[in-house]
Amino acid sequence: MILKKILGLTVAACLLNIATSYGQENFPAVAIKSTSGRSVDFAKLIGDTKDTAIIVSFWATWCVPCVTELDNISDLYKEWQAKLPFKFLAISIDDARTSQRVKPFVTGKGWPFEIYLDVNHDLKRAFNINDVPYTLVIKNNKVVYQHVGYVAGNEEELFEKIKAL
């Protein structure tokens, strides 16, 4: 009986978490930094593009699946932009020890999208993200899609989600 109640409470908590994450209309006012060191309020960054789909990808230089995903998206980025305009934000969660690597790493990769740093992991915590790569799609100030991890082909699934919006 007690086990049944605990299971019921766990399921209710999970459903509440899902409901709040998908119905989020006020994004966290967390300061992240551009690769040039400029502080940017994430909520304002998202708020400026209400009717445009925004892909937010949390990644790190040490995360092989993250880099593979961003390389593959970079290869398709121009083609996708020509078909359907959207905004792509890649937010590094490299900490203070490895964040110095981000700018030269991105420059070497030649990624065409906007890169930001969440060195203190404030934004990562605000979205309750535990693993990377973690991708969010936001449209009209709501999270409409979330995905964790990466396998080859996920970028096509992501583009299909954007087209369906």
pLDDT digits (tens, 9 = 90+) for 47-74: 877 689 999 999 999 999 999 999 999 9
Residue 133: CATH number of its domain: 3.40.30.10
Does some domain include residue 6?
no
Total domains in the fold of the chain: 1
Structure tokens, 156? 């096509």
Does some domain include residue 20?
no
Q: Which of 86, 64, 75, 50 is nearest to 160 (CA)?
A: 86
Does some domain include residue 127?
yes
pTM of the model: 0.83
**pLDDT tens-digit series, residues 102-128:** 999 999 999 999 999 999 999 999 999
Structure tokens, 54? 């925004």
Does some domain include residue 144?
yes
Domain that holds residue 53: 31-164
Does some domain include residue 16?
no
Does some domain include residue 23?
no
